[in-house]
Amino acid sequence: MAADLCRGFTDPELAKAINLLKSLPDGISLKELRSRDGNYEEAIQIVGMTFETMGILVQKDIASFKIVQELAGGLLLMMWRKMENPIKETRVEQGNPRFGEWVQWLAERVEEREPDIRPAFEAYADWTTHRDR
């Protein structure tokens, strides 16, 4: 499962979508998003579905929360700050409270634990391989 999660981050469409969304201001509204190029809404779908999938896999204990948090926690929180309002406003617009439910759930779980997380370059600064021990 961990290898599958890692492979998912090599998808060129996901990388393109992330790069596009990074340029958005945090807290952008759905209306503001729609006033831009249509590629932004598509990017939210691509990034959102990636994290939506991770969220349900974590909640069902198919994927490790710790691996997901270490692999993508920082990226998820950055993307959630850009996607939160458009996702929540789409729920209201579409009358579908479940739209983006797992990406929100995962973002909230990661955010709850974020104060305890140190960047890998700090947390594992003294790490050596098993062969080196």
Q: Which domain holds residue 35?
A: 2-116
In a domain, 121, yes or no: no
Model pTM score: 0.87
- Asked if residues 63 and 54 have their Cβ atoms less than 8 Å apart, the reply is yes
In a domain, 125, yes or no: no
In a domain, 43, yes or no: yes
| Centroid of chain to Cα 51 | 5
In a domain, 105, yes or no: yes
Determine the Cα–Cα distance for residues 90 and 104; give it in Å rounded to an integer.
13
In a domain, 132, yes or no: no
Closest CA to 50 of 26, 29, 71: 71
In a domain, 49, yes or no: yes
In a domain, 10, yes or no: yes
Total of domains in the chain: 1
**pLDDT tens digits for the chain (133 residues)?**
655 655 666 789 999 999 999 999 999 999 999 999 989 999 999 999 999 999 999 999 999 999 999 989 999 999 999 999 999 999 999 999 999 999 999 999 999 988 788 888 998 899 988 776 5
In a domain, 30, yes or no: yes
- Asked if residues 106 and 57 have their Cβ atoms less than 8 Å apart, the reply is no
